[in-house]
Amino acid sequence: MVEVETNTGQGVPQVVIVGLPDKAVTESRDRVKTALENCGFRHIRTRTTINLAPANLRKEGPVYDLPMALGILAATEQLAMPRLAEFLIVGELALNGALRPTRGVLSMAMLAREIGRAGVIVPKQNAAEASLVQGLEVYGAGNLRECAEFLANKIKLMPHRHDTDLLLAAQAGHELDFSDIKGQSHAKRAMEIAMAGGHNVLLIGPPGSGKSMLSRRLPTIAPPMTLDEALETTRIHSVAGILPPSQPMVAARPFRSPHHTMSDIALTGGTADLRPGEVSLAHHGMLFLDELPEFKRSTLEALRQPIEDGAIHVARATGAVAFPCRFMLVAAMNPCPCGYYGDPGKECRCSPVQIQRYRSKISGPLLDRIDLHVEVPAIPYTEMTRSAPGETSAAIRDRVVQARYRQYQRYRKQGQTNAALGARAFRAHCQPDESGHEFLRSAVTEMRFSARAYDRILKVARTIADLDASEQITTRHIGEALQHRALDRSIWT
């Protein structure tokens, strides 16, 4: 919380702002002065000192305009505002006194509730967003005069109300659907498993085989967000300033697909003004990296820690923050630079060295965090024209939701997925039956699977068992899990 203290005293008429203000905050001085005058208030005739406390925290942006203007009104005793102490207030002022929307309002409203304020006053356009916090009076003000007169009990404002259940239910319908995809039943099944257990997934196949198509349809089979999840994600989007005013809550799981030319900072977050990056914007949703080997190696390496921790710490000169980032990684790539390695229909023109270099862009530690590697072969033209429409997203989603519910019952923790199991829970819950054990051991040695694949296969088998409504992990579940480890099989290495 930043407190704005205002004092007027003797001396030449000028306004001094102290307390580590950045450039935008010092510019407030002129905006505040002009806005006050244009709203019919007296301008400043004495020396005025504004202190932004705590002094050791750098203040940035124009959000303190409105509190400063109100502070000046109070200090110069132009208007008695008995209700001032009841509210947390933010807002940027236009020269005519109108309020402009700002970012991060949801976090501020949460803070207001935490410290026991009765309510918040925010720019009108941000009111819907603030009203997502229950048990808080939210007022949206159009301009400085309206806000001041409300605090002086001269006028009434209607508190802003929201029905969060309604917002959650009003998830936008999807234009895409899994039934658009012909054939590819193996890949579709892999997507279902990935979503059911929250597993990271990598799709590998020649150009035009439908990798991007499959990935873009993942949100259509994602389980609905809980209210807490929706609020957490909304909060991040609010801080990033990308919430559209017409849609104050992120009610559907985000699907972020940054381009491979993106900078490392755009991925991890932490520009000078400490904005969240793509990994955090994808919180509780999906991060889709299409053409994975095209990403800079440093960008891919920067992904490792957030995938592991579900949170990212960014430190800049202006301060340090931690943003949550629990997302499902979805990546797509061709098997080689020309794209046709292993394709029966078209010959690959790449040399082994080229292929090696291309694949080595994706390091072992990153691959290690991806549970499913799925081959998406080109499908023959005949199959494309002939095959009947497949299952709809709604049908797949029902099974995903059931499987997630089984995980919730087993782990007794909201949102806990098989993919994110800790070591101890993994040992307790992902043990196959006797024959399953035997089968996995021989498969790993005979098919020359890498050692690190072992745990991954068991986790995926756990999810397959959950889709099968089975508490036991059997040979059948392990057998299917083995099929989704393309990169561990010897033809790939």
Ligand X SMILES: Nc1ncnc2c1ncn2[C@@H]1O[C@H](COP(=O)(O)OP(=O)(O)OP(=O)(O)O)[C@@H](O)[C@H]1O
Binding site for Mg ion (CB under 5 A): 212
Q: Residue 393 touches which of ligand X, Mg ion, none (CB < 5 to 8 A by kind)?
A: none
Kindly state the smallest distance separating residue 90's Cβ from ligand X, in Å: 44
Is 422 a binding residue for ligand X by CB under 6 A? The answer is no
Q: Residue 213 touches which of Mg ion, ligand X, none (CB < 5 to 8 A by kind)?
A: ligand X
Kindly state the smallest distance separating residue 306's Cβ from ligand X, in Å: 25
Kindly state the smallest distance separating residue 467's Cβ from ligand X, in Å: 22
**Among residues 179 and 305, whose Cβ is nearest to ligand X?**
179
Binder to ligand X among 238, 334, 417, 474 (CB under 6 A)? Answer: 334
Structure tokens at 74: 């109070």
Residue 324 pairs in a beta bridge with 311
Kindly state the smallest distance separating residue 212's Cβ from Mg ion, in Å: 3
Binder to ligand X among 190, 286, 379, 481 (CB under 6 A)? Answer: 379
Element (H, E) at 203: strand 201-204
Single-letter code of the amino acid located at 48: T
Residue from 296, 266, 263, 292 nearest 278 by CA = 266
Q: Residue 219 touches which of Mg ion, ligand X, none (CB < 5 to 8 A by kind)?
A: none
**By Cβ distance, which residue is nearest to Mg ion?**
212
What gap in Å lies between CA 208 and CA 204, rounded to an integer?
11
Q: Please report, as residue ranges, which positions from 205 to 244 form the binding site for ligand X (by CB under 6 A).
A: 205, 207-213
Contact 480, 197 (CB under 8 A): no
Contact 387, 183 (CB under 8 A): yes
Is 436 a binding residue for ligand X by CB under 6 A? The answer is no
**Among residues 48 and 393, whose Cβ is nearest to ligand X?**
393
Contact 312, 305 (CB under 8 A): yes
Kindly state the smallest distance separating residue 334's Cβ from Mg ion, in Å: 9
Query: How many helices (H) does the chain have, and how many strands (E)?
Result: 21, 15
* Number of Cα atoms under 13 Å in the Cβ half of residue 438: 3
Q: Please report, as residue ranges, which positions from 180 to 209 form the binding site for ligand X (by CB under 6 A).
A: 181-184, 205, 207-209
What gap in Å lies between CA 20 and CA 5, rounded to an integer?
14
Q: Residue 239 touches which of Mg ion, ligand X, none (CB < 5 to 8 A by kind)?
A: none
In the sheet that holds 137-141, the strands lie side by side as 87-89, 119-123, 137-141
Q: Residue 148 touches which of Mg ion, ligand X, none (CB < 5 to 8 A by kind)?
A: none
Q: Residue 303 touches which of Mg ion, ligand X, none (CB < 5 to 8 A by kind)?
A: none
Q: Residue 221 touches which of Mg ion, ligand X, none (CB < 5 to 8 A by kind)?
A: none
Q: Residue 184 touches which of ligand X, Mg ion, none (CB < 5 to 8 A by kind)?
A: ligand X
Single-letter code of the amino acid located at 58: R
Single-letter code of the amino acid located at 105: V
Structure tokens at 96: 């005519």
- Give me the residue label for tokens 């104050």: 248
**Among residues 109 and 362, whose Cβ is nearest to ligand X?**
362
What gap in Å lies between CA 398 and CA 69, rounded to an integer?
54
Please provide the DSSP assignment of 326-339 as one string. --EEEEEE-SSSSS
**Among residues 51 and 212, whose Cβ is nearest to ligand X?**
212
**Among residues 180 and 368, whose Cβ is nearest to ligand X?**
180
**Residue 93 to residues 70, 102, 178, 288, Cα–Cα distance (Å):** 11, 10, 47, 38
Q: Residue 207 touches which of Mg ion, ligand X, none (CB < 5 to 8 A by kind)?
A: ligand X
Kindly state the smallest distance separating residue 330's Cβ from Mg ion, in Å: 12
**By Cβ distance, which residue is nearest to ligand X?**
210
Q: How buried is residue 43: exposed, middle or buried, by Cβ count under 10 Å (0-12/13-18/19+)?
A: exposed
Kindly state the smallest distance separating residue 259's Cβ from Mg ion, in Å: 12
Q: Residue 336 touches which of ligand X, Mg ion, none (CB < 5 to 8 A by kind)?
A: none
Structure tokens at 126: 């941000």
Per-residue mark of binding to ligand X, 145-184 (x: CB under 6 A)? ------------------------------------xxxx
Total number of residues that touch ligand X (CB under 6 A): 15
Q: How buried is residue 345: exposed, middle or buried, by Cβ count under 10 Å (0-12/13-18/19+)?
A: exposed
**Among residues 206 and 432, whose Cβ is nearest to ligand X?**
206
Residue from 337, 361, 321, 375 nearest 486 by CA = 375
What is the contact surface with ligand X in residues (CB under 6 A)? 181-184, 205, 207-213, 332, 334, 379
